Amino acid sequence: MITRNAAHVLAKMASQFKAVAVVGPRQAGKTTLAKMTFPNKPYVSLEFPDERERAIRDPRLFLSRYPDGGILDEVQRAPELLSYIQGIIDARSETGQFILTGSQQFGMMQHITQSLAGRIATVVLLPFSLTELQSGNYVSDNLNEAMCNSAYPPVFDQHIDPLFWLDSYIGTYVERDVRQIVNVQDTLTFQRFLSLCAGNVGQLFNASRIGNDCGLNHGTVTKWLSVLEASFIAFRLPPHYRNYRKRLVKTPKLYFYDTGLAIRLLGIESATQLATHPLRGSLFENWVIAELMKHRFNMGRKSNLFFWRNNTGLEVDVVIERAEKLQPVEIKAGATLATDWVKGLKQWQQLAQDDVVCPTLIYGGTEPWQEDGIDILPWIHVDRVINT
């Protein structure tokens, strides 16, 4: 069993707040994390139809079974409970009364902010990070294999072939859940939409272009993507606002929380196929950014990641806000360093000057070193960026 990096933060939050919500994609390990962190708390899953019916029919009676609190799993299935939970936790001074988990932000977070504002903290749990997989000795030395394997816990806990598991996950959770929320009738169009999103990883999000390619209007594409974001499947990375007297691109970029899922949606079936795929560089960029995102969430913090691009084409793949400073990170999938890889970082440093801290390049090779004040790190050492 792999220990989750978020366990310490979850326990700390529960010692300070009356309730904590653990949110994230399905099968990311939310239930396991809650149970392992609070083994003595009673547990109930609202995925079970009978429990969900009891909770909706008579919330007071349902919650009376948990006078000292408990773990309520997939609480978005009965969001009405949150208003009644407010009354229970307000009547007592103890912290950590209820641990709530949920796989969809759409309705759940709205109800939380309405009913439990100021009483609840939130932990976002994504699939395993590289450091978590390293602790269980589950990381392949081959970068392409590491990217294809996905990072969802069942792949490792249950020793399931990633190809089989991801196909099942796409059909069982991604398509079913998202289609139910937006009431999609045309399955083939939705599948095409998912594949096009995966094909646009690392690109500026262009709803019109994606819509034209699958026969949807701009509004539908935006709505469907919002549901993917609410279900922790995909996210948009915003551009940084600091302009240094340059005109900036203001459109966000599109990424997936799990690179293995994006790879499978593209129809890639093996590390060998990925090695020669034209989107390998973009997928590696996705993998690095997802790792940086996981670290922030595991610390109980919001994302501090951006990208930077001006109208002349100068770009930095990731800009990390660190207090008043900015850490630029360039990402290259190649295994052999090219001399022009650090050119963009150096140009951006000249613009940002005193704002810059710890410029870094992450690449697909194996050896770390430094050049002209730039840290050059292999992919397996992405945690060194995290711990800077």
**What is the DSSP annotation of 137-169?**
T---SSHHHHHHT---HHHHHTT--HHHHHHHH
Domain spans of the chain, in order of start: 7-124, 130-388
113 versus 48: the higher-pLDDT residue is: 48
Residue 179: is its pLDDT beyond 90? no
Residue 323: is its pLDDT beyond 90? no
Residue 103 is predicted with a pLDDT of 82
Residue-wise pLDDT tens digits, 83-135:
899 999 999 999 999 999 988 665 667 667 777 888 899 999 999 999 999 99
163 versus 339: the higher-pLDDT residue is: 163
Residue 76: is its pLDDT beyond 90? no
Residue 37: is its pLDDT beyond 80? yes
Mean pLDDT, to the nearest integer, of 189-206?
94
User: Range with the lowest mean pLDDT among 7-21, 92-106, 357-371?
Assistant: 92-106
Residue 337 is predicted with a pLDDT of 85
- pTM of the full predicted structure? 0.94
Q: Cα separation of 260 and 270, whole Å?
A: 11
Helix boundaries (H) for 153-279: 153-157, 162-169, 175-182, 187-199, 207-214, 218-230, 259-265, 271-275
CATH topology (fold) of 7-124: Rossmann fold (3.40.50)
360-363/374-378 β-pairing: parallel
120-124/19-23 β-pairing: parallel
158 versus 243: the higher-pLDDT residue is: 158
Q: Are 82 and 115 in contact (CB under 8 A)?
A: yes
Residue 183: is its pLDDT beyond 80? no
Residue-wise pLDDT tens digits, 260-283:
999 999 999 999 999 999 999 999
